[in-house]
């Protein structure tokens, strides 16, 4: 009696753009193959379209518009909801925690795709991790919306002018895409909501964007950055350039230029760092991210791949440079890594990763955008 060969297991760590699109394409490419199984490990049981988080915070979209259940999206993929505790590259094993007080689950693999993304970088600034609201998850967007409404309620019944001012001052740190889109949506949301609060008026409101550079949206160029700043200022947003957040307390934001802003709300979009798990891996890194080759493989570790924010992907068209960690790149990386995994399994040539940005777009409020 002959035993059937063991199916190869492809494990994908991360349910963001890179991980999910790798799973989608693997599912398609392996549809007629019975030699491999696909497993996706994600902290959430849904795929989140993060570029539209600011619209959830501003009540422009419903949650269901940017959320897609993973098990509905990936019919033939084994979805495991949990946290990745350890990656043992030498023994080709991943340890996962699933639920409260449950023992760690061991997951062996033949191919591993590391797509753990990034987390918010607070740079160890005093009070930031405890008091600032990031904009990375669905929980962050919901928290920000609830916080804004709570402070509007408190300000509406507040007699002390100083207390009312700190409740009605909203600061967003970071002049990139996330910061600009968040401050634009927040500004529209708060100003439109004021009509429901009889004791409040627009003159009491302050919405401030803080950016460390000389111009916002540097990815779009100086001209569009200036235009965006002009539009935001015309709509009541204060744009403060060439300064950073130094510290934050419960009722104050202190900037590096010495300015102290009375505010109870700071939205932090001014920095990310690869998942903490990446630093523990015995692999070569560049700027804290896993260095991969032109096929998206991790050097010296066969059948280990990396995509998305946690990967440093070399740009073969521009030697010495890397592809930016954006959603549109992660989507294409997911497709290529799926093709290369199947190529290894079936003994075919690997495909080089090469992609040019197809364009950048930022919404700046009231159905306006720049691109």
In the structure, what pLDDT confidence band is assigned to residue 1 with cuts at 50, 70 and 90? very low
CATH number of 8-120+273-346: 3.50.50.60
Residue 368: what pLDDT? 86
For the chain, the first-to-last Cα distance in angstroms comes to 64
Residue 2: what pLDDT? 47
In the structure, what pLDDT confidence band is assigned to residue 4 with cuts at 50, 70 and 90? low
In the structure, what pLDDT confidence band is assigned to residue 3 with cuts at 50, 70 and 90? low
| Whole-number percent of the chain with pLDDT over 90 | 85
Q: Which of 80-94, 184-198, 239-253, 348-362 has the lowest mean pLDDT?
A: 348-362
Query: What's the pLDDT tens digit per position in 150-190?
Result: 999 999 999 999 999 999 999 999 999 999 999 999 999 99
Token pair recorded at residue 80: 């495991």
Average pLDDT over residues 354-358: 87
In the structure, what pLDDT confidence band is assigned to residue 371 with cuts at 50, 70 and 90? confident
Average pLDDT over residues 281-285: 94
pTM, rounded to two decimals = 0.91
Query: Does position 361 have pLDDT exceeding 50, yes or no?
Result: yes
Q: Which fold has domain 128-270?
A: FAD/NAD(P)-binding domain (3.50.50)
Domain with CATH 3.50.50.60 in the chain: 8-120+273-346, 128-270
Query: Does position 288 have pLDDT exceeding 80, yes or no?
Result: yes
Residue 360: what pLDDT? 86
Residue 100: what pLDDT? 72
Q: What CA–CA distance (Å, rounded) separates 316 from 183?
A: 36
Query: What's the pLDDT tens digit per position in 260-270?
Result: 999 999 999 99
The average confidence (pLDDT) of the chain is 94
């Amino acid at each position: 009696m002959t035993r059937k060969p063991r199916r190869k297991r492809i494990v994908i760590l991360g349910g963001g753009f890179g991980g999910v699109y790798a799973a989608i394409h693997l599912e398609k490419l392996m549809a007629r193959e019975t030699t491999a199984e696909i497993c996706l490990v994600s902290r959430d049981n849904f795929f989140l379209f993060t570029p539209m988080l600011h619209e959830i915070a501003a009540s422009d979209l419903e949650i269901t518009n940017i959320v897609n259940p993973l098990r509905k999206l990936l019919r033939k993929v084994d979805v495991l909801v949990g946290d990745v505790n350890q990656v043992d590259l030498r023994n080709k094993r991943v340890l996962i925690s699933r639920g409260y007080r449950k023992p760690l689950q061991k997951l062996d693999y033949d191919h591993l795709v590391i797509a753990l993304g990034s987390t918010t970088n607070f740079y160890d600034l005093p009070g930031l991790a405890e008091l600032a609201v990031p904009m990375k998850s669905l929980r962050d967007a919901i928290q920000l919306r609830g916080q804004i409404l709570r402070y509007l309620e408190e300000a509406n019944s507040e007699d002390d002018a100083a207390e009312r001012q700190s409740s009605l001052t909203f600061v967003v740190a970071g002049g990139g895409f996330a910061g600009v889109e968040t401050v634009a949506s927040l500004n529209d949301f708060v100003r439109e909501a004021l009509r429901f609060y009889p004791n409040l008026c627009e003159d009491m409101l302050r919405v401030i964007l803080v950016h460390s550079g000389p111009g916002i949206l540097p990815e779009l160029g100086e001209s569009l950055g200036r235009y965006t700043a002009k539009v935001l200022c015309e709509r009541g947003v204060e744009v403060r350039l060439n300064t950073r957040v130094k510290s934050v307390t419960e009722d104050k934001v202190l900037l590096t230029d010495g300015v102290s802003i009375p505010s109870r709300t700071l939205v932090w979009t001014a920095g990310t760092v690869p998942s903490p798990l990446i630093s523990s891996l015995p692999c070569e890194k560049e700027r804290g991210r896993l260095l991969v080759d032109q096929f998206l493989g991790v050097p010296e570790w066969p059948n280990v791949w990396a995509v998305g924010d946690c990967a440093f992907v070399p740009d073969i068209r521009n030697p010495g440079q890397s592809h930016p960690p954006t959603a549109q790149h992660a989507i294409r990386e997911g497709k290529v890594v799926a093709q290369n995994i199947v190529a290894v399994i079936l003994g075919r040539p690997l495909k080089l990763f090469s992609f040019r940005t197809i364009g950048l777009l930022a919404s700046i409020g009231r159905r306006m955008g720049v691109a």
